Amino acid sequence: METPEKGTAARVPWNKGRLTGQKPPLKLKEIWAIRIRLQLSARVRDLAMFNLAIDSKLRACDLTKLTVRDVCHGEYVTSRATIMQQKTQRPVQFEITEQTRDSVETWIEAAGLAAPDFLFPSRLRESPHLSKRQYSRLVHRWVASIGLDDAAYGTHTMRRAKASLIYRRTKNLRAVQLLLGHPKLESTVRYLGIEVDDALEMAEQTEV
C-alpha cells in the first residue's frame, strides 16, 4: 500500500462533510417563518434581499448585481422588472409583490441609495456589491434560524422556492420555464426534479 511522502499534505476532497446535489426549495411555511424572524429582528436589508430573492427567482450572480434603477421607477419599486441574465444573456421578467416592494423601498430609504447604486452594496472595499459568497452565507443563516439543517440548502434554494410553488399549483411547465429564464424545457424539468415522462405528458397537454 502506498503511503504519502513526507512533507506532502493529504488532499482533502472539496466536498468532504458537505451535502452535494440539488438543493431543496423552501416550503411556503418555511418562507413565512424566515420572513417573520427577519421582520421581528428588524433586519431591513436581509428582509428586502430575502423577499426579492423569492420573488425574482434570480441566480445569485444576478441578484447580487441588481441596481436600484433595475427595480425602481422614480422613488417607487415597480411591480415588474426585467433584467439581462449573466449566464444566458437572455432577458427575464419577474413580478415584485407588494410586501417585497414595501421591504425594498424601506431598505433603499434606510441605506440612502440612489438610482445608479447597487441595491445590496458590500461592506468590503474590494467589492462594490454583495458577493455570491456573502449572499450564500446569508442564505445559510436564514435557513438555520428556523431550525433547518443549513448544509442541505443553498442559494439555488431561493431560486427554486417560488418556481416550485407555482409548478405544484399550476403544473404549467412552460410558465415556470419562462419565469426561470431557461432556454430549454429540459433544463426546467431537471431543475424541478420532475420525471421526464410526466413532464413530456404535461407539456403536450399545455400545447393542446
Domains along the sequence of the chain with CATH: 28-170 (1.10.443.10)
* Per-residue pLDDT at 194: 62
Q: How far apart are CA 124 and CA 132, in angstroms?
A: 13
Task: Collect contacts of 184-192 with beta carbons under 8 A, ≥24 apart.
Answer: 191/160, 191/163, 192/160, 192/163, 192/164, 192/167
pTM of the prediction? 0.78
Q: What is the pLDDT of residues 38-74, one digit of tens each?
A: 999 999 999 999 999 999 999 999 999 999 999 999 8
| DSSP secondary structure of 169-195 | HH--HHHHHHHHT-SSHHHHHHHHT--
Question: In this model, does residue 20 exceed pLDDT 90?
Answer: no
Percent of the chain with pLDDT over 70: 82
Residue with cell string 434560524: 145
Q: What is the pLDDT of residues 107-139, one digit of tens each?
A: 999 999 999 999 999 987 778 999 999 999 999
Q: What is the pLDDT of residues 183-204, one digit of tens each?
A: 888 877 877 776 444 444 544 4
Question: In this model, does residue 3 exceed pLDDT 80?
Answer: no
